[in-house]
A = this chain, B = another copy of it.
Amino acid sequence: MDELIVVKVGGSEGINLEAVCEDIAGMVAEGLHLVLIHGGSHETNEVAEALGHPPQFITSPSGYTSRLTDRRAIEIFEMVYCGRINKGIVEMLQRRGVNAIGLSGLDGRIWSGLRKKAIRALENGRSRVIRDTYTGRVETVNSTLLAMLLEAGMLPVLTPPAISNEGEAINVDGDRAAAATAVAMGAKRLFILSNVPGVLADFPDEDSLIAAITSDEIENIAQTAAQGRMRIKLLAAQEALDGGVEQVVLGDARSPTPITHALAGAGTIIY
């Protein structure tokens, strides 16, 4: 097969999925092979509020923020990520002639891994242990299934949750799942697109974009420059490079042609 690119598009406000799909359709017509992975946090928060189960977030002792997913939260999460957004994207691609196939990490065990028995959260400066959450980490990617779908001319559109080794739905970080997918598929490039232009030296000043980061600079930049979600994206980039991916681009999903831009090197290139 020709080169495969793994693209992750975030789920924050301001991202135009129609533009993303239009851009993808153009690339597919030119022969590029893609696996698309998407988020959905903004819309999940809205639906969770409307259904009377408002979202909760925790911060780990190492400073990463994540969604607290009890059983009801993961059900709402599935409604929005796997139902509304995944099928919405599949429809947008199909309307443009791309034979998309939408799957969660549960389906065919595309993303499986360990469910965390307990997680630690910082609350008012104190560390607290939380149990009975449905969260975990992708350890194994069913690359055989993804390769079969790609060979058959389809474009896989993937979304959390993943599946635990015991068969439970678990929330996993989408950026890190994208990294694991790129590694498992032997992709040379991984694009992680969100609602910022890339890594900013002086957040939120968009003029302070860092154009390139080498592998050995990631940790230092993660600790000094990166804010909030960007720290997890840098962790995902590190995991991708460690697994053999040659280039990760942290780019802007709000552009009218986000993937064309990332291909052209816009955003922060990490190598």
CB distance from A124 to the nearest CB of B (A): 33
Q: Are B90 and A154 in contact (CB under 8 A)?
A: no
Across the interface, which residues of B come within 8 angstroms of A94, CB to CB? 106, 109, 163, 167
Q: Are A84 and B78 in contact (CB under 8 A)?
A: yes
CB distance from A217 to the nearest CB of B (A): 39
CB distance from A41 to the nearest CB of B (A): 15
**Residues 98 to 112 of chain A near chain B (Cβ within 8 Å):** 99-104, 106-109
Report if A205 contacts B (CB, 8 A): no
Q: Are B95 and A84 in contact (CB under 8 A)?
A: no
**Nearest B residue to A154, CB-CB:** B108
Give the oligomeric copy count.
2
Size class of the contact patch on chain A: 35 or more
Across the interface, which residues of B come within 8 angstroms of A52, CB to CB? 50
Complex CA gap A107/B154 in Å reads 9
Across the interface, which residues of B come within 8 angstroms of A163, CB to CB? 91, 94
Checking B104, B149, B166 against A95 with a beta-carbon cut-off of 8 angstroms, the contacting residue is B166
Across the interface, which residues of B come within 8 angstroms of A150, CB to CB? none
CB distance from A70 to the nearest CB of B (A): 15
Interface flags for A191-225 (1: CB within 8 Å of B; 0: not) read 00000000000000000000000000000000000
Complex CA gap A168/B88 in Å reads 10
Across the interface, which residues of B come within 8 angstroms of A103, CB to CB? 101-103, 107
Across the interface, which residues of B come within 8 angstroms of A100, CB to CB? 107-108
CB distance from A93 to the nearest CB of B (A): 8
Across the interface, which residues of B come within 8 angstroms of A95, CB to CB? 166-168
Given contact pairs A47-B51, A87-B104, enumerate 5 new A-B contacts (beta carbons under 8 Å). Answer: A83-B83, A91-B106, A91-B168, A95-B168, A103-B103
The 4 closest A-B pairs by CB, nearest first: A83-B83, A95-B167, A79-B83, A79-B79
A-B contact pairs, 18 of them (CB 8 A): A47-B51, A50-B51, A50-B52, A51-B51, A78-B87, A79-B79, A81-B83, A82-B83, A83-B84, A87-B104, A87-B106, A90-B104, A91-B167, A96-B167, A101-B145, A102-B103, A102-B106, A103-B107
